[in-house]
Amino acid sequence: MLYNIHLSIDVDVAMPVEDKSKSLLPFLSSPKLLPDESEAEFESGLQSLLSELDNPSPLAVALVSQLNECLWWIRRHTVDKELLLHEAMARLLSKAGSYSEAYDNRKVSEALEHYLDGSADKDEAAWIDEILAESKLTLSDLRIRAFKDAARHIKMVDDLIHRQHQTIRHLQRSIDSIDYKSRLIKRMDLELAALESKQSVKEVSSLDAKPS
Amino acid sequence: MPNHRRSLANRSNALKSTGPRSVAGKRASSQNSRKHGLNSTPDFESSSEYRALVDLIAEEGFSGFACADIASSLLNYRRVMDAYYDTYASPEPVDEFLRDANMKASNPIFGELLSPSGSEPQDVREIAAFFASMQRQERRKGGPASRRSADTHKLIRYQRNGIARLSRAIRQG
């Protein structure tokens, strides 16, 4: 069962923005985490990304938050690739040999999951070893066959990861554009101030030069 | 009645259903095929978030038109990512009964269910073939991880369009 956990990013504490009341994040929906995911880890990722920016604008902070979510999605999808393999391995085992009626797919799946992460008890491990022996497969053979079996779905997950990379590239270009724009505005402000001061100096000198 | 037999009976009876009759039932079932709602056109402009975003973005030196474009693109991108999460977090559940049922062994049960006095081979064959095709579809969908990736994969184009629109709005603004 999955539950939604809404991340409430504490803008006052977390965001290194000039004026923290001007953050865009309260007006955008927050990224959500799955129940087994660490909120602290998610936020520390965001903070480390933000720390790489020099005085980011509110829009840049909002984009960095989206970028952090993309990185998080890449992690999720990478875990899914392994899960897909496990699913396919369990499917192959449950219908291995002439035992298609004997093995419950869900039970095999759970036992295999424990077996692969090393948390299986003696009975489960013995059971999986027995099924592998009956189906005349080693674990690596099973993995290879499962990879072939799950290839279509693994390709889908690769597409999803590729999409997140593309999204990150878009976000980076947008952040660069905002940074360039703000530097350009600052430079123009400085040039304007310099021109104004020059102008005022000229006016003063022209007043001084006038014969009384 | 054994569990397997009862499930088959329920499913066979459900095939005889002619759908909802009440207005409320029809209204509810009209939304059955709604997946994520990303094809509908959202009305961001009338929301308070949109106005707040436009005001805040305007302070960063963007023109009025660009502010509106960026704000609606941001809200649209969040809408896509929320749908992406919802699709990922709640994949279509696995119908374990259908996936694991032994259809060959169920044929006599279909016979009894269809005509208790004596089976009609044609009807039994039809319903058995129907359930077998449902089972093939169910098995092809795979487990939760396969379903999750297949469902999320359908949203790729929405994410691509959403981020491209946002990026364009910012860079041209």
CA angle A184, A187, A193 (to 5 degrees): 140
User: Can you tell me the mean pLDDT for B7-16?
Assistant: 83
In this prediction, residue A14 carries a pLDDT of 46
Side chain identity at residue A6, one-letter code? H
Q: Report if residue A139 sits inside a domain.
A: yes
In this prediction, residue A42 carries a pLDDT of 94
In this prediction, residue A69 carries a pLDDT of 96
Q: Report if residue A191 sits inside a domain.
A: no
B150 beta partners? none
Q: Residue A70 pLDDT > 80, yes or no?
A: yes
Q: Residue A24 pLDDT > 50, yes or no?
A: yes
* Phi, psi of A171, rounded to the nearest 5 degrees: -65, -40
Contact A33, A44 (CB under 8 A): no
The 3-state secondary structure of B99-128, one letter per residue:
HHCCHHHHHHHHHHHHCCCCCCHHHHHHHH
- Are residues B60 and A57, on separate chains, in Cβ contact within 8 Å? yes
Q: How many domains are there within chain A? A: 1
> What is the rounded CA–CA span in Å between residue B11 and residue B3?
12
Number of Cβ within 10 Å of residue A56's Cβ equals 23
Start-to-end CA distance of chain A, whole Å, equals 91
Q: Where exactly are the structural domains of chain B?
A: 42-172
Element (H, E) at A32: strand A32-33
Pick the closest to residue A103 from B37, B100, B86 (CA basis).
B100
Q: What is the token pair recorded at B27?
A: 């209204």
Number of Cβ within 10 Å of residue B171's Cβ equals 16
Side chain identity at residue B66, one-letter code? A
> What is the rounded CA–CA span in Å between residue A150 and residue A153?
6
Residue with tokens 């129907």: B130
Contact A46, A68 (CB under 8 A): yes
Burial (CB count <10 Å: 0-12, 13-18, 19+), residue B156: middle
- Are residues A105 and B152, on separate chains, in Cβ contact within 8 Å? no
Mutation test of the interface with chain A: which of B4, B136, B138, B149, choosing the one with the most A Cβ atoms within 10 A? B149
In B, residues 22-61, which contact A (CB 8 Å cutoff)? 49, 52-53, 56-57, 59-61
Q: How confident is the model at residue A20 (pLDDT cuts 50, 70, 90)?
A: low
Q: How confident is the model at residue B10 (pLDDT cuts 50, 70, 90)?
A: confident
In angstroms, what separates the C-alpha of B74 from chain A's closest C-alpha? 8
Of A22, A163, A170, the CB nearest to B59: A22
Q: Residue A3 pLDDT > 60, yes or no?
A: no
Pick the closest to residue B52 from B70, B76, B38, B79 (CA basis).
B70
What DSSP assignment string belongs to B51-82?
HHHHHHHHTTT--HHHHHHHHHHHHHHHHHHH
Lowest mean pLDDT across A12-21, A197-206, B33-42, B137-146: A12-21
Chain B environment of A104 (Cβ under 8 Å): 100
Q: Report if residue A6 sits inside a domain.
A: no
Cα separation values, A10 from A52, A53, B155, Å? 19, 19, 30
Contact A50, A15 (CB under 8 A): yes
In this prediction, residue A67 carries a pLDDT of 95
Domain, as residue range, for A136: 37-180
Q: How confident is the model at residue B116 (pLDDT cuts 50, 70, 90)?
A: low
pLDDT in tens, B130-165: 888 888 888 888 888 899 999 999 999 999 999 999
Chain A environment of B49 (Cβ under 8 Å): 27-28
pLDDT in tens, A89-142: 888 887 765 544 556 677 787 888 888 888 888 888 888 888 888 888 888 889
Q: Report if residue A167 sits inside a domain.
A: yes
Q: Report if residue A62 sits inside a domain.
A: yes
Q: Residue A17 pLDDT > 70, yes or no?
A: no
What one-character DSSP code corresponds to residue A5? Answer: E
pLDDT in tens, A148-161: 999 999 999 999 99
Q: Report if residue A18 sits inside a domain.
A: no
In this prediction, residue A37 carries a pLDDT of 92
Cα separation values, B137 from A82, B98, B130, B133, B154, Å? 23, 10, 11, 6, 18
Contact A42, A8 (CB under 8 A): no
Q: Report if residue A188 sits inside a domain.
A: no
Contact B98, B135 (CB under 8 A): yes
In angstroms, what separates the C-alpha of A179 from chain B's closest C-alpha? 10
Pick the closest to residue B90 from B32, B36, B29 (CA basis).
B36
In angstroms, what separates the C-alpha of B170 from chain A's closest C-alpha? 6
What one-character DSSP code corresponds to residue A6? Answer: E
Cα separation values, A54 from A114, A122, A179, B28, B167, Å? 46, 56, 9, 52, 21
pLDDT in tens, B12-60: 888 888 889 999 999 999 888 888 889 888 889 999 999 999 999 998 8
In this prediction, residue B117 carries a pLDDT of 57
Counting residues of chain B whose pLDDT is more than 90, the rounded percentage is: 39
Summary mean pLDDT of chain A = 83
In this prediction, residue B54 carries a pLDDT of 93
Q: Is the ipTM of this complex over 0.95?
A: no
In this prediction, residue B168 carries a pLDDT of 94
Q: Report if residue A200 sits inside a domain.
A: no
Contact A68, A193 (CB under 8 A): no
Mapped onto helix, strand or coil, the DSSP state of residue B45 is: coil
User: Can you tell me the mean pLDDT for A143-152?
Assistant: 91
Nearest CA in chain B to A83: B145
